[in-house]
Amino acid sequence: MTATRLTRGPRLVRALVCAVLGMACGPQAGSGTVSPTTGDPVGAGPDPQGATEGEGMAELSGRLDALVGRERNLRPAAAADAGKCEELCELATSICSVQEKLCDLADDHPDDGAYQGLCREARNECREAQEGCVHCVEANSNQTLPR
Amino acid sequence: MRRRSGWSQRVVLGAAIATLGIATLGGCDPQDDDARDGDAAVPDARVTTHPVRSATPTREGLAYIEGVARIHGEADLADDIDTRAAALRRGLALPVPAELAEAEILRLELATRLGETLAPRAEGVAVALDLLEPMLDPERSLPLDRASARALVTLGDLATSAGDDALAVGSYARAIRVMSSLRKELER
């Protein structure tokens, strides 16, 4: 009896495991491929089918919703920053173009400390303005792109 | 007496000459000479700015702004320098309503455009310099706006054409300082 019980026990367990796996991995759930539909909006496709997929889709859908919401919240700030970056970069271009004119004139007065000092100051301003432009664009693209 | 009188006269004359000489030398400030001599002049890069205040819109203010816009439109359509310059001069002659802070910028823009219009003509450079230099005097505070920077760059270009390197470099440096202030305002 004991031996029988012992042999019947594992069989029963095996049968149960197969039944559970059969439900989870049946044709309705795993073997069929869910085709993307063009007409439905994102996240409004066919309802998840099967226990495992249902959890996955719900999780993915939730994550997608969260990302879409996050992107929507970031959009105005990113647009404002983009406008600010444009202004900063335009100013940098103007500063550097005036710096060139200034330093061209300063080259005609190589021994004049005042001319040379103003040229140095202009070069520093040009460099700082260019760095400001680059930082702004980099920060803006990092903020806009989802990670 | 005669002798003493002669010495006295000489002493008085000598003292007068010495006083005159010292006074003349004292009056010869090297900076004055530099200011007259374009090459030796020191560039004046001082710049003071004030924030642009936005005024409460009034009927007169709006009429002035519309008038300036019309003038720019006329200048856009002008075929030749004289017509364009005449239009811009009419714009500068428009009476400015009291308390219209924006008028300062609008007048700077008109003067800058007039300066740029006159610049291609040899005699126009001097006229444009006479117009822009007092408006952009380093002693005056300028509105913290791109219009000030643009006007200073135009003054620098005109000074370069006139061979006044000190004025040109000073104006360019001031333009850069204004733009740098604008940049820092944006980065805050």
Judged by a CB distance cut-off of 8 A, whether residue A85 touches chain B is no
Chain-chain contact of A132 with B153 (C-beta, under 8 angstroms): no
Highest mean pLDDT among A73-82, B53-62, B77-86: B77-86
Tell me the domain boundaries of chain B.
Answer: 47-187
Candidate from A105, A125, A129 with C-beta closest to B169: A105
Q: Quick check: B74 pLDDT over 70?
A: yes
Judged by a CB distance cut-off of 8 A, whether residue A78 touches chain B is no
Candidate from B42, B169, B187 with C-beta closest to A132: B187
Closest CA to B129 of B85, B169, B137: B137
Q: Quick check: B11 pLDDT over 90?
A: no
Give the separation between CA A136 and CA A77, rounded to whole angstroms.
13
Q: What is the pLDDT of residue A5?
A: 41
Helices (H), B59-101: 59-77, 81-93
Number of other CB atoms surrounding residue B60 within 10 Å:
14
Residue B67 dihedral angles phi and psi, to the nearest 5° = -60, -45
Residue A6 dihedral angles phi and psi, to the nearest 5° = -65, -40
Find residue B48's DSSP bridge partners: B141
- Kindly tell me the burial class for residue B121, based on how many C-beta atoms sit within 10 Å of its own C-beta (0-12, 13-18, 19 or more): middle
Judged by a CB distance cut-off of 8 A, whether residue A114 touches chain B is yes
Q: Is B103 left (phi over 0), alpha (psi -120 to 50) or beta?
A: alpha
Closest CA to A95 of A61, A66, A59, A133: A133
Q: What is the pLDDT of residue A62?
A: 78
Residues B160-167 have a mean pLDDT of: 97
Q: Quick check: B8 pLDDT over 80?
A: no
Chain-chain contact of A118 with B173 (C-beta, under 8 angstroms): yes
Q: What is the pLDDT of residue B54?
A: 81
Chain-chain contact of B173 with A132 (C-beta, under 8 angstroms): no
Candidate from A101, A105, A118 with C-beta closest to B45: A118
Chain B residues closer than 8 Å to A125 by CB: 176-177, 179-180
CATH architecture assigned to B47-187:
Alpha Horseshoe (1.25)
Residue B57's pLDDT band, with cuts at 50, 70 and 90, is confident
Chain B residues closer than 8 Å to A109 by CB: 165
Alpha-carbon torsion angle B159, B174, A125, A122, nearest 10: 40
Asked whether the beta carbons of B135 and B110 are under 8 A apart, the reply is no
Q: Which residues of chain A have pLDDT under 50?
A: 1-46, 147
Candidate from B42, B165, B186 with C-beta closest to A108: B165
Summarised one tens digit per residue, pLDDT across range B95-152 is 999 889 899 999 999 999 999 999 999 899 999 999 999 999 999 999 999 999 999 9
Q: What is the pLDDT of residue A33?
A: 37
Q: Distance from A87 to chain B by nearest Cα, in Å? A: 8
At B119 the three-state DSSP class reads coil
Summarised one tens digit per residue, pLDDT across range B15-24 is 444 443 333 3
Q: Quick check: B37 pLDDT over 50?
A: no
Closest CA to B103 of B178, B53, B177, B171: B53
Q: Distance from A110 to chain B by nearest Cα, in Å? A: 12
